[in-house]
Amino acid sequence: MGLLERLRKEWFILGIVLVIAVARLEPGVGVKGGPLKPEITITYIAVSAIFFNSGLSLKTEELTSALMHVKLHLFVQIFTLVFFPTAIWVFLQLLSITPINEWLLKGLQTVGCMPPPVSSAVILTKAVGGNEAAAIFNSAFGSFLGIVITPLLLLLFLGSSSSVPFTSIFSQLFMTVVVPLIIGQIVRRYIKDWLERKKPPFGAISSCVLLMIIYTTFCDTFANPNIDLDKFSLIIIVFIIFSVQMSFMFLTFLFSIRNNSTFTPADTVAIIFCSTHKSLTLGIPMLKIVFAGYEHLSLISVPLLIYHPAQILLGSLLVPTIKSWMVSRQKALKLTRQPKAPVKV
């Protein structure tokens, strides 16, 4: 129930943001030079606030129990940051001959380059009863890797804005992502007991800041009179996103249960969600940095904005089915490991 409620809230709030941005009720508010000054408040303050918040909320002490499960971590990170973007690139070579909007196709590639999220994969793994510690570790570790690897993947597959040099991208990411994250972790050490007692609404705070970032991103797009987004392309992209998610979830499931695999059913659950989910929290700020100055930045962002709630929707719908499989699989494995009773003559 909590997952479905969260999903409805995300779709509702995101819908409001898009309606306001499209309608442009207050022209210029969310664009560069407007009253909100997004070139300062969003690019630096809002992004830094999100990752300072993440640093405060990330319970690094919970990661130690999963640290030694190296094979699982390698599987998740290689699938997420190597196989996923490469497979999407190959798929897009076929789609490039179709009339689908080219900027939405580029957006699909950016989705493939994103690291795993810190929240949704962990929440769904916990809801099923899977290896939550492994999910927490891979989500956190993947986010750290993504700070370095994702910009490299984006530059490799899509290139960058000529106005933002390579060194500038990483220096800005370091100052707005890495530094606030580290400061958040340091502050957490001193106020850990207070955080445990009060339990501040970290998720709600990050969501509000992220929605502000999304709002200004869409304002930049719809303030451009030359924007061209057809309904056909959008519908096809939505279909492709759901198809990709389902296909990759099934693929990770098959890989993790093969005969020579050492993964437990609980491990498989963590693998399914962590390998196929993508981070919106890290993704949108990163796209704004890497593609600063791109005329079609928001069109590139659309697939990621669709992918995020779609992964929660699919995951929440599949929770009962995956949980049923995991329980039955655990029972079957337990029976096969029990010593057979001696046959009486």
344 within a domain of the structure (yes/no): no
| Single-letter residue type at 264 | T
pLDDT value of residue 87: 95
DSSP class per residue in 19-68: HHHHHTSSTTTTSTTSTT-HHHIIIIIIHHHHHHHHHHH--GGGGGGGTT
334 within a domain of the structure (yes/no): no
How many domains does the chain fold into?
1
Provide the residue range defining the domain that includes 25: 3-329
pLDDT value of residue 75: 92
User: Tens-digit pLDDT profile for the chain (345 aa)?
Assistant: 455 455 455 555 555 555 554 544 455 555 555 555 555 555 567 667 767 776 777 666 656 666 778 889 999 999 999 999 999 999 999 988 888 888 889 999 999 999 887 667 877 888 888 887 788 788 778 877 888 888 888 888 886 544 445 566 667 667 777 788 788 888 888 888 888 787 777 666 766 666 666 666 666 655 655 566 678 888 899 999 999 999 999 999 999 888 777 888 999 999 999 999 998 777 877 787 777 767 777 788 888 888 887 888 888 889 889 999 999 988 887 777 666 555 555
Distance CA 24, CA 235 (A): 23
339 within a domain of the structure (yes/no): no
336 within a domain of the structure (yes/no): no
Q: In what helix (H) or strand (E) does residue 226 lie, and over which residues does it extend?
A: none
Domain at 197, CATH number: 1.20.1530.20
51 within a domain of the structure (yes/no): yes
pLDDT value of residue 162: 42
335 within a domain of the structure (yes/no): no
210 within a domain of the structure (yes/no): yes
Distance CA 139, CA 119 (A): 8
343 within a domain of the structure (yes/no): no
Question: pTM for this one?
Answer: 0.74
